[in-house]
Amino acid sequence: MRLALLSLAVLATVACQPREGAQPASTAAPASTANAPTANVPAFAYDEVDVATLQARMAKGELDSHRLTQAYLDRIAAIDKAGPALNSVIELNPDAIKEADALDAERKAGKVRGPMHGIPVLLKDNIDATPMVNSGGSLALADNRPKRDAFLVQRLRAAGAVILGKTNLSEWANFRSTRSTSGWSGRGGQTKNPYALDRNPCGSSSGTGTAIAASLAAVGVGTETDGSVICPASVAGLVGLKPTVGLVSRDGIIPISSSQDTAGPMTRTVMDAATMLSAMVGRDDNDVATANSVGKAVFDYASRLDANSLKGARIGVLRKDMGFHPDVDAAMENAIATLKSAGAEVVDVEIPTKGKWDDAEFDVLLYEFKAGVEHYLQTHDAQVKTLPQLIAFNNAHVAEEMPYFAQEIFEKANAKGSLGDAAYLDARANAKRLAGPEGIDVALASQHVDVLIAPAMSPAWPTDQVLGDHFVGAGYGAAAVAGYPSLTVPMGESHGLPIGIVFVGPAWSEAKLLSIGYAYEQRSKARRAPQFLPTVKLGKTALPEAGANTKPVWTSADLATASTAAMPAETSTTTPAAAATTK
């Protein structure tokens, strides 16, 4: 859940099915195939199709949830477990087809729960969802089968979503080692980036990012402490929303930090993110932070989206978060021009406290992880009950759990005291103050801007299990520490690797962030579907042209003008669901 630059670790939030001897990803492709799409990636009827289009087709009787769910199961079997072998889905829900059938029966009876009715969703495997395992990617929790769903999963199921399965992640949400490799877990192995298979998917919501970019489900859920929704969404060309802490319940999620943790949607469009968020929010007595959302949550974010919301908006550019890569800077300048052309005023601003919260934040996470993870283990009847027992488990299973990196962060967290320690209380207060009231709030007020913008992340780096992750720049950290919302939207590419822009606002400003992000998305149209190349295609990087998607993103608006023949055809469902499962 947490990503950090330079000396700090990548930290994020948690996956599922055991595999034998996880192997490091190749860091180079044969020269003869370097620029060719990976073989064995069949055409897919629902590639890049959005939720509203799927819902409209089901309403017309052209599609049902059973066929859609089966199609995604077949897609997972074809390209996640075979073909390019993305390795993003760690466990499938054995009841997925049964759930889809029940929702189809409701539809036939005239009951439609809402826009998520019958829509398959993938969840990061640090989120409790019956009847599946919740492991955080660790073999220590390979038998952890929660007795009930996390609150957000209850909300999604009540809204009519089909829980398709769980996605791999950076083990323990990247909060185990300062040398970790994003997208790797002892239980799930290494997830690949679908744009270039030797590149890293970032983390810790690595599996969700790869899976949704590759159309293995309609939409997905990630979790973030510091960057773990924004980074994997950015490098996978997705929309990712990290909500205000307290908008979405953390009940039933393996924790890092009660101060910073949150779950959020990861989707291919802003409309899908808004639709999904609406189904996830709600007060939960098991998460006291959600009490703060009363009167602030919106239960239909999609209805607040306005393609003209940039007109008259004031946007603050955080230029000190730029300058780490020329392609990223060029994409940002192009994005700024797009914002201005839509009627926004764009001015330079600074966060005066930038980076001053780093040490305090890391101390807070160390304290809160120890307390939070032990509470989760002890309330879930896990075989290991304490952090020392987790450390001992890893030491006893070095070959499986620590073939590439160790557990320095676990050891640092174990050395911390209780949440009553003055050192912890001071660090928590300082981190929040420096990132929020004296940081983002000052930047917003200095030029009276509505939102801040910065590059979300660099392009994806090669996966490297010797040296670990290679971070060169990012713009999400202040929002993560402050507990404020941030939204990434695709804005361009570097040698075929996606680059995202991040929009940051004050607490509870999700409706405005989503609307501004939607207006930008409608003009930039920067998302490209992945081609599953073995490695990057080197050459001059071109800025995106509006509407120049590699594959069309079919939306509900297209249904009004496109003939049936122009729409994607149904796929056959020749692969049994059982063949697509990982257990």
Catalytic residue list: 124, 204, 228
**Whole-angstrom distance, CA of residue 48 vs CA of residue 51:** 10
Q: Looking at 259-398, which runs of residues are DSSP E strands?
A: 262-267, 314-318, 345-349
β-strand pairing of 219-224 with 262-267: antiparallel
**Whole-angstrom distance, CA of residue 225 vs CA of residue 262:** 7
- Count Cα neighbours of 497 within 13 Å in the Cβ-side half-sphere: 28
Sheet with 262-267, side-by-side order of all strands: 89-92, 162-167, 120-124, 219-224, 262-267, 239-242, 486-494, 497-504, 451-455, 314-318, 345-349
Structure tokens, 333: 């300048």
| Helix, strand, coil % in the chain, rounded to nearest 5 | 35, 15, 50
- φ and ψ at residue 199, rounded to 5 degrees: -95, 160
- φ and ψ at residue 167, rounded to 5 degrees: -115, 150
- Count Cα neighbours of 466 within 13 Å in the Cβ-side half-sphere: 3
Residue that the structure tokens 């009951």 belong to: 111
551-to-39, 80, 210, 500 alpha-carbon distances in Å: 18, 20, 17, 18
